[in-house]
Amino acid sequence: MRLPDVMFTLAGLYPKIDITVIEQNTAAAMQSMITGESDVALFNLEAEDEQSFQKLSENGRKVIPLWDEKLFAIISSSSDLMHYQSLSLAKLDGKPLAINAFFFDDYEQLAFPQKFLPHCRIAFRSNNFELVQQYVSASDAFSFAFIGYTKDLEKTFLEKIAIKPIKENLTMRFYAVYDENNPRLKQIEIFIKILCDLYDLKDR
């Protein structure tokens, strides 16, 4: 189950809860939370990225790990990598990369993929997830997707793309960040618990 699916399910189960979701980059989301414009900021980081985790928890902010998501490689069904059951980062490095803006940090640098793919060349970039996969389906580029998105991709693109596990087991961790001095602290904590409970139901 994807994060948007969790939010839609939550809205359906609790129609009296007034929730506004705003998509922002890391800096803007954090600023909105600090100024009180929003109560909770949701982030995802590479699971081993301790430095970024420390930044999130500065100035007394509460950081709650929500769940982990594995990353998969998406390739065209005509790719020369199709015959592999799973793909190593070495096989992907040097290939054209089609990527979501999600993978870029606030300084417009390719955040975590560059750490593992030093020779990658960004061939296509978009905020539109399906547009990225459409580019992949018609080219030699590859992209990344969370496991929660792969079923939708298979339905949308049928036999045009292939979803391959990554041997190195890349994992992103989702976090909720909030101010412990927020007057709506109790509601925030209940909201986060509901989010986690709904996500845990995804495989049942």
Express each pLDDT in 84-112 by its tens digit: 999 999 999 989 999 876 665 544 445 55
CA distances (Å), origin 62, targets 5, 101, 177: 25, 26, 6
Structure tokens at 43: 């982030």
Q: Which of 31-35, 133-137, 154-158 has the largest mean confidence?
A: 133-137
**Model-level pTM?**
0.75
Q: List where CATH 3.40.190.10 sits in the chain.
A: 3-68+171-203, 71-165
**7 has pLDDT over 80:** no
Express each pLDDT in 23-76 by its tens digit: 777 778 888 888 889 999 888 776 666 676 777 777 778 888 888 888 899 999
Higher pLDDT, 85 or 117: 85
pLDDT average, residue stretch 110-124: 73
**12 has pLDDT over 90:** no
Q: What is the pLDDT of residue 108?
A: 43
CA distances (Å), origin 49, targets 2, 36, 100, 171: 22, 27, 19, 10
**Euclidean distance between CA atoms 170 and 201, whole angstroms:** 23
- When pLDDT is cut at 50, 70 and 90, the band that residue 3 belongs to is low
Q: What is the pLDDT of residue 107?
A: 40
**204 has pLDDT over 50:** no
Phi, psi of 19 (to 5 degrees): -120, 130
Q: Write down the mean pLDDT value for the chain.
A: 81
**Which of the residue ranges 12-21, 63-72, 88-97, 166-175 would you say has the lowest mean pLDDT?**
12-21
Q: For domain 71-165, is the CATH number 3.40.190.10? A: yes
Q: Which residue from 148, 77, 72, 132 is spatially nearest to 99, judged by alpha carbons?
A: 132
Residue 149 host element (H or E):
helix 147-157
Domain 3-68+171-203 fold is D-Maltodextrin-Binding Protein; domain 2 (3.40.190)
